[in-house]
Amino acid sequence: MGILALAADERVADININEDELSVRLKDGRTISVPLAWYPRLLHATQEQRANWKISGAGYGIHWGDIDEDLSSEGLLRGAPAARGSIAVTDSENRQGVKFSAELSTMETLASGVEDSDTDKGILDHLIDGEEAATELVEVLSWIESQTIDFTSKINKHTANIDRLSKSSGKSLARDFKKVVLLAASDMNTFSRRVDEVLPKFKKSTKTLDESYSVYVQSADPESQGGVEGIHKLRTSLSGMLEVVNPAKQNIRLFRDSTLSIRKQNMNKELNKAAERQSITLESVLSEIEEVESFALRISFLIDERFGHSAAN
């Protein structure tokens, strides 16, 4: 149903959930029924968690506080399954992670030419920790980028509808305008919540990468062929990681700039707050990406310091 249709009232009146289906009754009498499998958080929630819901977004949304799930009547009417609320990579993203993991999987053979360490962990322990952290980092960043692309499309649609309404006239114009603005705010808040959930994993992965590969570089023997070859492969793996980081940073920065532009328009209190929150979240992501880039530079300088350019080719 188009957002300018004046006869329909798409506000939520009531909902019903069983083990297989979510049914939502709207104020205009219509009932929307969708498979519960479309919304994994609801599917795996307990009966008590499902029952703890409230109407949000001026009547056009539903919020489950215990599981941090938000749905809108507009999305239900479109028949749109929920955006992914947990990390799940697409085939394309998985190929990037597999490629990066494949570059690191040979690290186990590079333990030769490494000096003994006095720490509790052996060199292979650090390499395994680094491999796991690198894989998680690529997955998290790829997921954030996919969410950014998905929500950029949603926000662009809301913005286009706002522009269209600003040039229209009619009795229900104010209500229609507020509806679109609140839907935009709801989408922004959903994006911020979901990204904020995975940012600690991003930070932890970056820290583990830094610590693990710093130990490896400091322990590798510059006089050993195995040490030199290992450093060369590590440098190659860093380049592969940055190939994932750089385009993600570009997309996230563009979304940040778009969010700041919406905030500057000062259209609505709820939208202002959502845009402010989203801009803070995106700034946090960009800050973490810069930490990854800084880590890669530090490791490169450390390699040059210990090995010169012997491991560069």
184 and 158 in contact (C-beta within 8 Å)?
A: yes
- Indicate the pairing of strand 53-56 with strand 31-35: unpaired
Q: What is the pLDDT of residues 46-75, one digit of tens each?
A: 888 999 999 887 677 888 888 888 888 877
* Mean pLDDT (the chain, rounded): 77
Which stretches of 117-273 are assigned E, i.e. beta strand? none
Distance CA 179, CA 59 (A): 9
**What pLDDT digit, counting tens, does each position of 214-271 carry?**
888 888 777 777 777 777 777 777 777 888 888 888 889 999 998 888 888 888 888 8
Can you give the pTM of this predicted structure? 0.61
Instruction: State the DSSP H helix or E strand holding residue 247, giving kind and residue range, or none if neither.
Output: helix 225-265
Question: How many Å apart are CA 10 and CA 269, to the nearest integer?
Answer: 22
Per this entry, what is the length of the chain?
313
Domains observed in the chain: 12-78 (3.30.2020.40), 91-307 (1.20.120)
Given the structure tokens 């932890």, which residue do they identify?
204
pLDDT in tens, 286-305: 999 988 888 888 888 888 88
